[in-house]
Structures are given as structure tokens and as C-alpha cells.
């Protein structure tokens, strides 16, 4: 999936605490929240690179076309955890991220998400990722 001999090397670590509203009656994080954690980390990585996933005045978007998570251990209310996100592969029009969620030395979950660059108006259609975005996401 990597094109133009570019080697994706961007990665970011995002720290967070489990909030009460994210847990079920047993105090364990509901599985649906993990996808939100992955997305929060991705957005934080973009901000760190000086970008926004949804910049004002631009008709570009990055909808997900694939997402998966494998669970290894539970997260509970008040747990502090970290999401490690890295650009795993990039093509002309898509970015695949690899994620690992940890609590200290404990691996909680691993996952991946793929987003496609689209022009939102007038009809949503895939377009090439702008070079200005690639330059900031891909470290030399």
C-alpha cells in the first residue's frame, strides 16, 4: 500500500484517563469507546504535526473505510492509559494507522484504521492526499 517509495514514519503517543461515562455497570470500558480512543489519538497526532483532520474552509474529509480492534485486557474507570498511533501505510488516497493501547506495561488492545481522502462537495469522491498534508505527516 505504500507508494512513491515513501516510508511512513509518523507516530504519536496520546495519554488519557478512563471516564465514568465510558464504562458499563461493571466499571469496564465498553468496547465501542476503543474506536473513539483510536480516533482521538489520530487527531492529536495531526494537531502535533500542525494539521487538522477537518480544517475550516476546506472541503476535504477523511472518512474511515476500515477499522478493527483486538482486545487483550480490560480498561476500567480511572485507569490511565496510552494510545500509540503510527502511520502504517499510505497510498495516493488513503492512510492506514496502526494502534496499540497500553496501561503501563500491559497491552490492552491493538487495532488499525484506514481513512480515505475525499472531496466532500458536491458529491463525496476520493481524491489524492494533498502533498502539504503528506509532508507534515511523513517524517524524513
Between the alpha carbon of residue 47 and those of residues 38, 44, 63, 71, 118, the distances in Å are 14, 5, 17, 27, 19
Instruction: Provide the grid cell at 110.
Output: 491493538
Q: From CA 136, how far away is CA 129, in angstroms rounded?
A: 12
Sheet holding 80-90, edge to edge: 11-17, 80-90, 94-103, 106-116, 64-71
| Res 17 pLDDT > 50 | yes
Q: Where are the domains of the chain?
A: 11-137
- Using the predicted structure, report yes or no on whether residue 4 has a pLDDT greater than 60: no
State residue 116's pLDDT score: 96
Span of 3-12, 43-52, 55-64 with lowest mean pLDDT: 3-12
What's the pLDDT at 123? 85
Q: What is the pLDDT of residue 28?
A: 97
* Under 8 Å between Cβ of 119 and 96: no
Burial (CB count <10 Å: 0-12, 13-18, 19+), residue 85: buried
Residue % of the chain over a pLDDT of 70: 92
Averaged pLDDT, 18-47: 96
**pLDDT-derived band of residue 7, with 50, 70 and 90 as boundaries?**
very low
Task: State how far the Cα of 91 lies from the Cα of 2, in Å rounded to an integer.
Answer: 5
- Domain 11-137 of CATH type 3.10.129.10: yes
Strand residues in 30-79 grouped as ranges (E): 60-61, 64-71
The answer to whether residue 138 scores a pLDDT higher than 70 is: yes
Amino acid at each position: 500500500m505504500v507508494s512513491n517509495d515513501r516510508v511512513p514514519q509518523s507516530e504519536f503517543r496520546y495519554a488519557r484517563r478512563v471516564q465514568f461515562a465510558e464504562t458499563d455497570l461493571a466499571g469496564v470500558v465498553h468496547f465501542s469507546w476503543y474506536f473513539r480512543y483510536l480516533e482521538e489519538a489520530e487527531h492529536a497526532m495531526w494537531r502535533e504535526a500542525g494539521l487538522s483532520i477537518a480544517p475550516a474552509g476546506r472541503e476535504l474529509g477523511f472518512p474511515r473505510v476500515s477499522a478493527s480492534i483486538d482486545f487483550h485486557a480490560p480498561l476500567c474507570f480511572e485507569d490511565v492509559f496510552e494510545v500509540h498511533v503510527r502511520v502504517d501505510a499510505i497510498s495516493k488516497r488513503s492512510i492506514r494507522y496502526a494502534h496499540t493501547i497500553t496501561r503501563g506495561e500491559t497491552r490492552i488492545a491493538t487495532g488499525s484504521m484506514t481513512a480515505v481522502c475525499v472531496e466532500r462537495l458536491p458529491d463525496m469522491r476520493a481524491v489524492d492526499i494533498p502533498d502539504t498534508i503528506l509532508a507534515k505527516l511523513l517524517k524524513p
